[in-house]
Structure 1
């Protein structure tokens, strides 16, 4: 039996014991768990803290798409402040690579992906608890050098002779979105590089290694003036939905539920929309 199989067997046994404990507690009253108090997307809840806040402790490990780095880092600090003694650790990378790590047994509590397709890898393997919830959406922009020296105003401008363009690899969400946008505009484009996550594609523009790159609106905003963003019509046909889920082999399930609750709460949504994400 593999280590992972043993772990799942122990979880099942522990779940049965938890049911017996819950039944015995009914006569003296119950309190809401983190899952019970987790607001659904668009709910009016103003706080992410679960009713049984004393249950939340220890480290919660979050695997999240690279485009979530700034907003999730901020939410991690808010979570730690709301739950003294907890620590949030992040693994930010391309969603595809993160999904593969999870199904291979990497220890993680929460997965936030930049597309339903990458989340499906995890759900198909039975590694997600319940049905993942879409918590935000994101749209592409053309990242260019400050001042837009190449005067790029449309997707078709990226095909101009001598222009160097970076795209995300097709298997990662930002690359899949770029493929959709290019198809919508009937634009054929050969980039000088394919990057494994959106932050790497953005960095190519910041370092002036390329003239333009297709990245998310949120990445242009987080660059803080190091790049400018050019909106283009075709991006409306390639909007990515971002799903989030707690993981079935989560080492810290209570904290995982509480963190997802923060992301979905009114407070969490405010942080995300301020970063440039769209409502789900």
Structure 2
């Protein structure tokens, strides 16, 4: 509160006319009435300025891109904080269905979006992705093709079949007539990538975008059979979101030119 400076001058009291008092009180009442209208949400600016925490659940393969998109969204929407939860799409669906707060969901495949059922409000496709073989930088098992992954001495790590990258792996292997015998099956593509990068595995199957994001930590090996399965990524506002309008704005940013450019730079294809 601002304090007025004290005056050293002494003034004699003046007689105040009654009508001036009435006018002053009326003005104060009118001003107070206007103030309460704004506080009740009558002013759109005041509503837009309120603090909002937007919870976005996204497939693990979207970690780098959605982190960047969220930062852009926050910079364009003061007062909004975006909380990101990354994981396997199937796990995220289970979390949302169990009541975990969610405003937006982005899946790495259509199948898991369908599992969300009526909680998915008009989902829209926003990107595509394909598989790539990933190996440690020194490629200890000398992998060069999909068929090489079937070797009995290869420590192979893949995603579990209920996870989009695992489902894609199973489809690609079946179409190519290759039988894979992984030493472990992970719940997210980032877990597969982590085991290969750390040297715990000789090879893995992840998305093209994951290999690109990992940089020099791993080596990627493309294979022609990957084109037989293309994962389509859908995004939706979650039914029951407490911030439906803000959630829709986030979805629109992902679909807009800026969001699409961020995804393209990371190696994602168009939907």
The alignment's TM-score, normalised by the length of structure 1, stands at 0.78
Q: Which of the numbers 102, 113, 120 marks the counterpart of 1:128? A: 120
**Paired position in structure 2 for 1:278:** 269
Q: Give the corresponding residue for 1:17.
A: none
User: TM-score of the superposition, structure 2-length normalised?
Assistant: 0.81
CA-CA distance at 1:149 after TM superposition: 3.8
Instruction: Determine the structure 1 residue equivalent to 2:103.
Output: 109
Give the aligned partner of residue 27 of structure 2. none
Which residue number corresponds to residue 87 of structure 2? Answer: 93
| Residue 244 (structure 1) aligned with residue 235 (structure 2) | yes
Q: CA deviation at 1:251?
A: 1.7
Assess if the C-alpha contact under 8 Å between 1:107 and 1:251 holds in 2. no
Show CA shifts across 1:219-257 (max 9, x none). Answer: 101112100110111111111000000011112111100
> Which residue, 249, 258, 261 being the options, matches 1:267?
258
Q: Does residue 81 in structure 1 map to residue 72 in structure 2?
A: no
Structure index of larger Rg: 2
Mapped contact 1:222–1:275 kept (Cα < 8 A): yes
Aligned-partner SS, 2:217: coil
Q: Is residue 184 from structure 1 mapped to residue 137 from structure 2 by the alignment?
A: no
Q: How many residues align structurally? A: 226
Structure-2 residue corresponding to 1:38: none
- Tell me the CA shift for residue 99 of structure 1: 0.5
2: CA distance between counterparts of 1:256 and 1:129?
Answer: 11
Aligned to 1:16: none
Could you tell me which residue of structure 2 aligns to residue 232 of structure 1? 223
Correspondence 1:10-89 to 2 at 5 A: 54=48, 58-89=52-83
Q: Is the 8 A contact 2:155 2:183 kept in 1?
A: yes
Mapped contact 1:138–1:241 kept (Cα < 8 A) = yes
Work out whether residues 192 and 206 of structure 2, in 8 Å CA contact, stay in contact via their aligned partners in 1. Answer: yes
Q: C-alpha distance in 2, partners of 1:251/1:216?
A: 33
Q: Which runs of 4+ in 1 moved over 6 A?
A: none
Contact between 2:139 and 2:202, CA under 8 Å: does it hold in 1?
A: no
The answer (yes or no) to whether the contact 1:129–1:248 under 8 Å persists in 2 is: yes
CA distance in structure 1 between the aligned counterparts of 2:191 and 2:173, rounded to whole angstroms: 20
For 1:267 and 1:218, the matched residues in 2 are separated by 18
Contact 1:202/1:215, CA 8 A, preserved across alignment: yes
The aligned residue for residue 214 of structure 2 is 223
Matched, 1:209 2:196: no
Q: Which structure 2 segments of 5+ residues have no match?
A: 1-43
CA contact (8 A) 2:49 2:78 kept: no
Find the counterpart in structure 1 of residue 5 from structure 2: none
